[in-house]
Amino acid sequence: MRIQDVAFARSSDKGDHVDISVFAYNEQSYHKLSALLSCERVAHYFQPMGIGKVECYAVPNLMALKFVIRNALNGGGARSICADNQGKTWSGALLRLAQDLWEDSRR
């Protein structure tokens, strides 16, 4: 199972930082995501991209988790030569975080 099976997401850029919000489709999925989708797990997942610190915020009234990934865009939209220098596709990448996330919770 992937996150995209239980949630949708949006991402944007704020200078050199990426902002990803993950919205669960229902309360049960939100509680599972809250327990399993930590700052550490997101940082590990995106670590190959050369990111900085990851901050996370719970937004329970929207059944959402918000992640701010610092220093992720190699200087931001105007400075970076990255293919996605504005962070628009990062939410799609996070949604593809695969089944090991769910399998870990069954142990």
pLDDT the model gives residue 36: 87
**Is the CB of residue 29 less than 8 Å from the CB of residue 74?**
no
The domains of the chain, with CATH numbers, are: 1-75 (3.30.1360)
Q: How many Cα atoms within 13 Å fall on the side-chain side of residue 105? A: 14
**Is the CB of residue 14 less than 8 Å from the CB of residue 71?**
no
- List the pLDDT tens digit at each of the 107 positions of the chain: 788 899 999 988 887 889 999 999 999 999 999 988 999 999 999 999 889 999 999 999 999 999 999 988 876 665 555 555 456 788 888 888 865 555 555 44
| 11 φ/ψ angles, rounded to the nearest 5 degrees | -140, 160
- For residue 57, what are the β-bridge partners? 66
- DSSP type of residue 75: T
